Structure 1
Amino acid sequence: MTTSQLFTALTPILSVLILLVALRLPAKLAMPLSLLITAFATFFIWGVPFTQMLAASLEGVIIALTILWIVFGAILLLKALERTGATHTIKLGFSSISPDKRVQLIIVAWLFGSFLEGAAGFGTPAAIAAPLLVALGFTPISAVVLALMADSSAVSFGAVGTPAIVGIGQGAKGLSSTDVSQIAVTAVGIDILVAALLPLFMVLMYCRFFADSSSWRKGFEMAPFAVMSAFAFTLPAYTVAWLFGPEFPSVLGGMLGLAIVCPLARIGFLLPKNTSDHSATNLAQSSPLSLTRAWLPYVLVAIALVVTRLPQLPLSTWLQSANVEWVGILGTDLSVNVMPLYLPGTVFMLVAVIAVWLQRSQSSQLFSAVKDSANMLYPSLISLCAAVPMVRIFLHSGVNDNALPAMPMALAELVASHLGDAWIFMAPLVGALGSFIAGSATFSNLMFASFQQAIAIDTSLNQQLILALQMLGANGGNMIAVVNVVAACSVVGLHGKEGDVIRYTLLPMLYYCLAASTIAWLFWS
């Protein structure tokens, strides 16, 4: 690989970091520029035919529209609940558990978000948790940053185990279902120690950068409760993974974590005595809705996401049968399919309609919510319809006139050739690279699992351990994935601040990856 080819392979990464993070351009400008730069270099230097690039771009636009469908549904649900008064009631409910916003952050982003990740994955946790945090009084940027940080550990078993079952199971070679389960158990075993500090880091970032009074000390006050909350999720998740496999650790871990932490928070267990500096804004202690009716839409979302994703139930097959597929785009070997009824966005929209009816609101409020949601979504249309095609060009660059591998594989091979002896420390970073570019831990595992497996064989490392580190790295990369960041910002109307979000989440991502490597090296290698 020549120097110009190396810079071409790095173009999608460098252009995003320079334009979005360093120069702080809004995503609606940075992503189209990144797409143009990437397409130019890919065609003239990597040698990818124009038809292949155009087909990859069309595939990307269709995928972007499915993401926008999910985001629109999440915004619509939030706007509908604001109009019915449900969000006000939910605020009162959290005040009855604890008025401390640090506690509310852990419950909503870490535990409820983990449950949503296990049920649906693919950006759903941030799409639901971030606006809920805003409703509780968090600033939009803090809500997005903290929701993305929280949506990491549970990603190993997101969407009923898809990153493990599909990503690792199909991405690596010759693995049985037992092998995949053992890799998943190894990953969550390492994660028990890695994720032990994640809720604390979330609270520390909130207290230092986003609270009214900036203070590290106020964050450290929450250390006992935060660490306890971390184990309340990871230990049940490990037990479920060990006993039953990779389908339900995040779903059941999140549910059990909520069942453990909420009652303990209510009685002040392990909480500091003085919480006045971080208490939610005082609210009038009255609401037209009961707490049960206010939370019912979220309960319906959770139930619907679980039952529609269980392969044992016929509903999953029926919803997936409504499948629009484009095979052989422009005569290439690329294909894309959309299952509109199966997308989480459809669930969100249906529940929004039901919520307006259950909470006895007027239909005009639903129409108003639809209008507001569409207006909020418009800036993200440009960003995502440029970002995702850029990603697909990058991933499908293996078809070229220079007999080069696809760009991500070329970069990984280059790193492996120089740092193979220290691969236990590089494996999670490769997984994170995959999620950063592809916007999905499942795609990262599909893309790099066989490569990680080959490196493990060449360097005489434990294949199971290296594939587990690939999974964990993909989890960490989820915090900075461009597609996830743009989508989460869209839900709370935070346009033009995507680079700021990545700057905040970059350090936690590096911690997650390096901590996973260090723990694996100390205890598993």
Structure 2
Amino acid sequence: MYVQQLRPVADSLGLSALVAALPLVIVLVLLGGVRMKAHLAGLSGLLTAVLVACLAYRMPLDQTLSSAAQGAAFGLFPILWIVVNALWVYRMTVRTRHFDVLRRSFGRLSDDPRVQALVVAFCFGALLEALAGFGAPVAICSVMLVALGFDPVRAAVVCLVANTAPVAFGAMGTPVVTLAQVTGLPLDTVASVVGRQTPLLALVVPLVLVGLVDGRRGLRETWVPALVCGVAFAAAQFAASNYVSAQLADIAASLIGAGALVAVPHARVPAAETVRASVLTGARGEDFDQRDPRPEVLRAYTPYALIVVVFSVAQIPAVKDWLARATRTFDWPFLDVVDAHGARVGGNVFSWPVVSTGGTLVLIAGVAAAVVLGVHARVAAAEWLATVRELRFAILTVTSVLALAYVMNLSGQAATIGYCVAAAGAGLAFLSPVLGWFGVAVSGSDTSANALFGALQVTAARESGLSPELLAAANSSGGVLGKMISPQNLTIACAAVGLAGREGDVLRKVLPWSVGLLLVMCLIVVGQSTPVLGWTLP
């Protein structure tokens, strides 16, 4: 049995916290300062965490390596299992050219480029975030806006800012699932609190988007559809995350938000030619005037409809219980850890949701989609393998970061840092979202930031007398606002629209919005930690 220590270095909490923070410092410096590739920075941080665990915390080597293996296993399944299968579905739509049909369908929903930005960047981007995440929404939606005639810089900025409110529940709820896993908090509770924070961003972001597209005139002329879209999205995200399923939160929000937007009569009014001339400064795609047969349009929407149907059926209590029977729970080998108070930690047991996990449900929907799209089984298999090859570095990054997080959590490094951070007292509520924001800004992933800082936030909350669920959720909710300035997302956006090398120009445009919205989230969390907004929590 390994007993976690809080003060292993000279019996000093401060010195121990400095040593415990070395893996995180290494990762952040290598990513943000040295600009090392993310997977190499993750592996370097993992090696540092192993050395700190063994040399400073005296954790046996076999238990240290076993905790790293458990983190890597969780990174592969269920996290990457979801991402791979979701991007596989998208690749099949591109292969059959049904994605082009979908793109043209969106372009015909409204003549107003400001409304088109809401439909594509906010609503469809949220659906892509729900299904895949990890940069896919920014890349795909940026290309669609440029094809509609948007200037490449404006398209990139709009899509980066839009990729905020849905991020915490992206990739079938992967960030909150990870947060619950590393903190030991119930998933329903964590999702519920996050679902009472990020919807408040959804009220603001559509208004910000129309302002980015067309300045004050855009706000003055299209605030009604933007507000209706934001309210519908926020209400659906709140309801789904609190009363249905974290995995369905963004799917429901994106579809209901899009439906509400299209239903507003003002959204279908053709834009004045002066608006189109000033906003659409790029070249419109030549194929946008092509009329697609209705059956092909329906087939283009089918893969996403199938995913919604499969996940909805999986939430029926009888079906949910039946799928849960396939879940396997077993003691993780070579791991026997108790905390400083003698309580066994959750890492000793590993749960493997074979069928009920989101990735398996997406796979089932993807097989059905392949049949509908007319993709041969051999071609579908080849596309799946190509997706894995495309994500090989992302796979290495996620597994190394999760392995790093598990080593830090199980060795006691995260607990040491948490106890030290708790000295901030009441100010911790304000700083909590900032920590998540910083983690995502550097790593490019809310999932990674939750894995790195989730347990730390919970420990600090318990020591300072604040709600662990509130600060854990704040880590994720604050983190979503760091995604638009992360080097990973900036690179993806610029590469997608042909602006490679101009990441700095785009960063200067999105940074004020990232910091401004972060301040709003910090004030929300502070309010929720007091009676002012405490009534909003479950």
Residue 71 of structure 1 is matched in structure 2 by: 83
- SS of the aligned residue for 1:322 comes to coil
**Structure 1 residues 64 and 251 mapped into 2: Cα distance closer, same or farther (>3 Å)?**
closer
| Aligned residue among 359, 367, 370 for 1:356 | 370
Counterpart of 1:37?
Answer: 48
Residues 379-435 of structure 1 show CA distances to partners (whole Å, capped at 9, x for unaligned) of 33332332221111112122xxxxxxxx33322322221x21434323434666898
Instruction: State the aligned residue count.
Output: 479
Give the deviation of 1:77 after TM superposition. Answer: 0.8
Q: What letter matches 1:91 in structure 2?
A: R
In structure 1, the residue matched to 2:417 is 411
2:234 alignment partner in structure 1: 234
Aligned residues of 1:150 and 1:202 also touching (Cα < 8 A): no
Deviation at 1:92, TM superposition (A): 0.8
Instruction: Please tell me the residue identity of whatever aligns with 2:233.
Output: F
CA distance in 1, matches of 2:393, 2:201: 36
Q: Aligned with 2:275: secondary structure?
A: coil
Asked if residue 369 in structure 1 is aligned to residue 383 in structure 2, the reply is: yes
Q: What is aligned with 1:401?
A: none
CA distance in 2, matches of 1:184, 1:370: 34
For residue 514 of structure 1, what is the amino acid of its counterpart?
L
Corresponding residue for residue 210 of structure 1? none
The corresponding residue for 1:89 is: 101
Matches within 5 A, 1:89-488: 89-98=101-110, 103-108=115-120, 110-112=122-124, 124-126=132-134, 129-130=137-138, 132-133=140-141, 136=144, 145=160, 148-152=163-167, 158=173, 171=185, 184=192, 193-200=200-207, 224=223, 226-235=226-235, 237=237, 252-264=252-264, 266-268=267-269, 273-274=275-276, 275-277=279-281, 281-283=285-287, 284-287=289-292, 290-308=296-314, 310=315, 312-333=316-337, 334-398=348-412, 407-417=413-423, 419-429=424-434, 439=448, 448-449=457-458, 451-452=460-461, 455-456=464-465, 467-468=469-470, 470-478=472-480
Give the stretch that moved more between structures: 359-368 or 285-294.
359-368
Change (3 A) 1:134 1:424: closer
State the identity %: 17
- Is the 1:476–1:510 contact (alpha carbons within 8 Å) kept by the matching residues of 2? no
AA aligned to 1:290 is E
Tell me how far 1:86 sits from its aligned partner.
0.9
Match of 2:521 in 1: 516
SS in 2 for 1:336: strand
SS in 1 for 2:290: coil
Letter in 1 for 2:21: L
Letter of the 1:257 partner, please give it: G
2:63 to 52, 60, 64: 52
Question: Any idea what SS the aligned residue of 2:20 has?
Answer: helix
Local SS of the residue matching 1:304: helix
Q: Distance in 2 between matches of 1:55 and 1:194?
A: 39
Aligned mates of 2:482, 2:319 — CA distance in 1: 33
The match for 1:23 among 18, 34, 42 is 34
Instruction: Tell me, in whole angstroms, the C-alpha distance in 2 between the residues paired with 1:59 and 1:93.
Output: 44
Report the CA distance between 1:514 and its aligned residue.
2.9
Distance 1:217 1:203, change over 3 A: same
| CA separation of 1:337 and 1:162: change in aligned 2, threshold 3 A | closer
Given residue 79 of structure 1, which amino acid in structure 2 is its aligned partner? R
Q: Do 2:418 and 2:456's aligned partners in 1 also have CA atoms closer than 8 Å?
A: no
Unaligned runs of 5+ in 2: 1-11, 147-151, 338-347
CA contact (8 A) 1:428 1:513 kept: yes
Structure of higher RCO (CA pairs closer than 8 Å, 6+ residues apart): 1
In structure 2, how many angstroms separate the alpha carbons of the residues matched to 1:359 and 1:203? 35
**TM superposition score normalised by structure 1:** 0.72
Shift of 1:240: 7.4
SS in structure 2 opposite 1:290?
Answer: helix
Q: Is the 1:28–1:380 contact (alpha carbons within 8 Å) kept by the matching residues of 2?
A: yes
| Displacement of 1:295 | 0.3
- 1:292, distance to aligned residue in structure 2 (A): 1.3
Shift of residue 35 of structure 1?
1.4
Distance 2:72 2:489 in 1: 14
Counterparts in 2 of 1:512 and 1:487: CA distance versus 1, 3 Å: closer
Tell me the alpha carbon deviations over residues 39-94 of structure 1, each in whole angstroms, 9 at most, x when there is no partner.
Answer: 22232223332122111111022112223322221221111111222101101111
| Residues 27 and 44, structure 2, Cα contact 8 Å, conserved in 1 | no
Q: Residues of 2 paired with 1:126 and 1:168: CA distance?
A: 20
Task: Flag structure 1 segments of 5+ consecutive residues without an equivalent.
Answer: 208-214, 399-406, 458-462
TM-score by length of 2: 0.71
Question: Comparing 384-393 with 313-322, which one deviates more in the overlay?
Answer: 313-322
Q: Aligned equivalents of 2:357 and 2:245: distance in 1? A: 21
Cα deviation code 1:272-315 (max 9, x no counterpart): 9324236853425144652111101101011212222x2x4322
Q: Distance in 2 between matches of 1:303 and 1:487?
A: 30
Work out the CA distance in 1 between the residues paired with 2:121 and 2:310.
20
Shift of residue 316 of structure 1? 2.0
Change in 2 beyond 3 A, CA 1:33/1:197:
same
Q: Which moved more, 1:252-261 or 1:195-204?
A: 195-204
Q: Deviations over 1:313-339 (max 9, x none)?
A: 322223232234441321425232322
Over 3 Å counting, the alpha-carbon distance change for 1:291 and 1:273 in structure 2 is same
Distance 1:279 1:200, change over 3 A: farther
Note the alpha carbon deviations across 1:218-269, whole angstroms, 9 max, x for none.
9878973545432232245557789x68877656544432221123375149
Higher alpha-carbon deviation: 333-342 or 359-368: 359-368
**Rounded Cα–Cα distance in structure 2 between residues aligned with 1:349 and 1:246:** 19
Shift in CA distance, 188/24, structure 1 to aligned 2, threshold 3 Å: same
What is the match of residue 343 of structure 2? Answer: none
AA in 1 matched with 2:300: A
Measured in 1, the distance between the counterparts of 2:202 and 2:222 equals: 13
AA aligned to 1:347 is: L
> SS of the counterpart of 2:522?
helix
